[in-house]
Amino acid sequence: MNGRMIISFPTDVKRGRIWKVKRADISNWMLVRDDKTHGNYTLCPLLKTMKPQEAEVRRAQFAEP
């Protein structure tokens, strides 16, 4: 990706729709379900650079520990 960030949000999301993408096209992903964050693994190394209270709030939002 040459150091560039591409943010892509599908605009036609519907329940039950099947999405097919190549694994090579995914560098990071995130979704929120039941107020819990799934994915967004690039945030994990950044937690140690945050203020402790902010990092704890972010950790609590993750679905997976």
Instruction: Report the alpha-carbon distance of residue 43 to residue 58 in Å, rounded.
Output: 9
11 versus 50: the higher-pLDDT residue is 50
Q: Is residue 56 part of a domain?
A: yes
10 versus 15: the higher-pLDDT residue is 15
Phi-psi region of 19 (alpha: psi -120 to 50; beta: other; left: phi over 0): beta
30 versus 64: the higher-pLDDT residue is 30
Residue range of the domain that includes 41? 23-61
Q: Is residue 45 part of a domain?
A: yes
Cβ atoms of residues 28 and 3 within 8 Å: no
Q: Is residue 14 part of a domain?
A: no
Over residues 20-26, the mean pLDDT reads: 81
Q: pLDDT, tens digit, for every residue of 29-58? A: 888 889 899 988 888 888 999 999 999 999
54 versus 13: the higher-pLDDT residue is 54
Cβ atoms of residues 37 and 61 within 8 Å: yes
Instruction: Return the SS3 of 32.
Output: strand
Q: Is residue 1 part of a domain?
A: no
| Count of the separate structural domains present in the chain | 1
